[in-house]
Structure 1
Amino acid sequence: MLTQGQLTGLISSTKREAMDASHRFNTNMSFNIPVTFLNQGQLEKRIPDAQRQVGHFIAVARLTKVKQLDQLINVIIRLHKDFPKVQLDIYGYSDGWNNYQTANDLKKIVNNQGADHYIHFRGYQHDLTRVYETAQAEILTSQYEGFAMALLEAQGHGCPVISYDINYGPAEIIDNNISGKLLPANDCDALYQSLRQLLVNPKLFHRYTQNAQHAAAKFSLNEVAKKWQDFLKKA
């Protein structure tokens, strides 16, 4: 469509994707504009560390293969052996593919390991404000994402995020080692070590929580509006 003149350019939700699209389709009309924004009131809200439950980790993801929740579940099971207070709550609906195969497989892992008292499938919930503001961290183990909106929502509520560094989103949402941690994709040992550090190092946990909303401010209404304004001038 670009070569035939049916499109004059492309808009992607992250800088990395816009760059990849520019190279792939050989165009200098490839732009980055986020698909969402956070309101200023949320970014200015203060959530004390004391409100967060140490050892309470969350994942916000559909129960589908691409989210690789089996990796997260197995890491939490390993972590729980050394830190009995650890728990994981997974928020997201079950993918119906192949008669809910992924959801059934994940629940089988939990049941077979006797982990159903500290790993819970909470289903889809419309408002996760309380969850984001009481969890110690959100974790993402996907193969890929379009934007990873749940990571931004978490940081907007002051919740640190630990994520595989995958295309697309995490590297632009997380300020690595400041508001959270980026890990090599599929590195379960690195994930274990990062979660362990959060549990044993209160200073690290405090640094992440204090910087989470600052990192999320890159996606405030004003910042996203500026991107649209810049785009309209160039286009």
Structure 2
Amino acid sequence: IHVEKLHLLNHAGQERITWRVLNYNEQSHTFNGMNELTRYFYDELNQLNDEQNVFICDRTVECAWGLFNMTTPAKKVLHLHNNHVSDAKDIMHSTLNNNYANALNNWAAWDAVISATPEQTKDVEARFGKDIPAFTIPVGYVDNATLKAAPVKFDQRQKDLVVQVARLAPEKQQNHSIEAFVEVHKQFPDAKLELWGYANGDIEKQLHAQVAAAHLEDVVLFKGYTTDVNAVYNRAQLGLLPSRAEGFSLMLLEAQAHGLPMVANDVKYGPSDIIQDHKSGILTTDGDVQQLTKTILELLKNQGQLAQYSAQAYENAKRYSEEAAFKQWQALLDYFKPAKVTA
């Protein structure tokens, strides 16, 4: 046994949790909570070499306090891999995303910040200033094996198959996809909408009820979780992502890498950076279900255009190759030389 978690009751009957590290360097240590244990771990890790280390924090709720309270010197980098505000329409004044609030309210404690898109980098600098360097690095890349794989011929894809690959969650707005498919089904009776992803809370019940009320049970299919999402991208003719907010969207990047044309809302952040509008997909307006419906119908009616979008999607994905992504990381590494980076 190396670590123990102790649940105790104080005199008021309230639970108190302590952590014990046993027989570490011939000593045992007790910590009042996970934050103190995490801070101790970072300090110990930081002393394993004689170099200036850099810690990159992409889960600030778990790691920010420990980094802020280290007793040994180190460089600290904030990594924003999602929208940093609650209301993307009011970047300068909106309340902060709960996951990043503590980190951003302690802006001066960081030595650099990473955002996933140029637009987010610009917005972060506008609100918090340019007193620390800001780097733009995508949160994903397309591996060389995928880029070198033979493209799926468009006529081998399942005709009129539309997919949405995302958590079943309010912000992903599968309800808009279902609403759009009411009209799509009228004009394309054989068209199918597959919803892939696990559910958050009771949203799946709500979506099932919406499908039942529209009598689309044989058309809108809930496919759940898959360990082979690439097969989904390779089989479909069109993908949807009518989200009201995104951080970068690995789904869009994965879909483009597999030649899947996408229809996605032009929201902060990611869709406009990944999708080449009217070349590898189409950007739509959040909340405009009529526009979403019209776009799906026009694309399904024009199979030739869809095939062109598919070919361009394969080309578009090359912008996010391993080499291209590492060049952006290299700028961060060069900034901290001769520091050693620990992520």
Identify the TM-score tier after normalising by the shorter chain.
Answer: over 0.9
Does structure 1 residue 162 correspond to structure 2 residue 267? no
Q: What stretches of structure 2 of length at least 5 have no aligned partner? A: 1-102, 337-343
C-alpha deviation, 1:231, in angstroms: 2.5
Distance 1:196 1:4, change over 3 A: closer
- Contact 1:57–1:136 (8 Å) recurs in 2: yes
Q: Give the aligned length.
A: 231
Does structure 1 residue 153 correspond to structure 2 residue 254? yes
2:290 partner SS: helix
Aligned partner (choices 140, 143, 154) of residue 49 of structure 1 = 154
User: d(CA) in 1 for partners of 2:211 and 2:294?
Assistant: 21
C-alpha deviation, 1:35, in angstroms: 1.0
By relative contact order (CA 8 Å, sep 6+), the higher-ranking structure is: 1
Q: What does residue 15 of structure 1 align with?
A: 118
Structure (1 or 2) with the greater helix fraction: 1
Q: How does 1:131-146 map to 2 (within 5 A)?
A: 131-146=232-247
Structure (1 or 2) with the greater strand fraction: 2
Structure of higher CA gyration radius: 2
Task: Report the AA paired with residue 205 of structure 1.
Answer: L
C-alpha deviation, 1:49, in angstroms: 0.6
Aligned partner (choices 130, 136, 143) of residue 32 of structure 1 = 136
Query: TM-score scaled to structure 1, two decimals?
Result: 0.93
Q: What does residue 104 of structure 1 align with?
A: 205
Does structure 1 residue 89 correspond to structure 2 residue 194? yes
1:59 partner SS: strand
- Contact 1:51–1:133 (8 Å) recurs in 2: no
- Contact 1:22–1:29 (8 Å) recurs in 2: no
User: d(CA) in 2 for partners of 1:210 and 1:5?
Assistant: 46
User: d(CA) in 1 for partners of 2:148 and 2:284?
Assistant: 28
Q: How does 1:55-204 map to 2 (within 5 A)?
A: 55-96=160-201, 100=202, 102-204=203-305
C-alpha deviation, 1:8, in angstroms: 1.7
User: d(CA) in 1 for partners of 2:227 and 2:142?
Assistant: 16
Query: TM-score scaled to structure 2, two decimals?
Result: 0.65
Q: What stretches of structure 1 of length at least 5 have no aligned partner? A: none
- Contact 1:72–1:141 (8 Å) recurs in 2: yes
Distance 1:26 1:135, change over 3 A: same
Aligned partner (choices 208, 212, 230) of residue 313 of structure 2 = 212
RMSD between aligned residues: 1.5
User: d(CA) in 2 for partners of 1:132 and 1:4?
Assistant: 40
2:235 partner SS: coil
C-alpha deviation, 1:4, in angstroms: 6.8
- Contact 2:107–2:128 (8 Å) recurs in 1: no
Does structure 1 residue 233 correspond to structure 2 residue 337? no
User: d(CA) in 1 for partners of 2:120 and 2:107?
Assistant: 22
User: d(CA) in 2 for partners of 1:23 and 1:195?
Assistant: 36
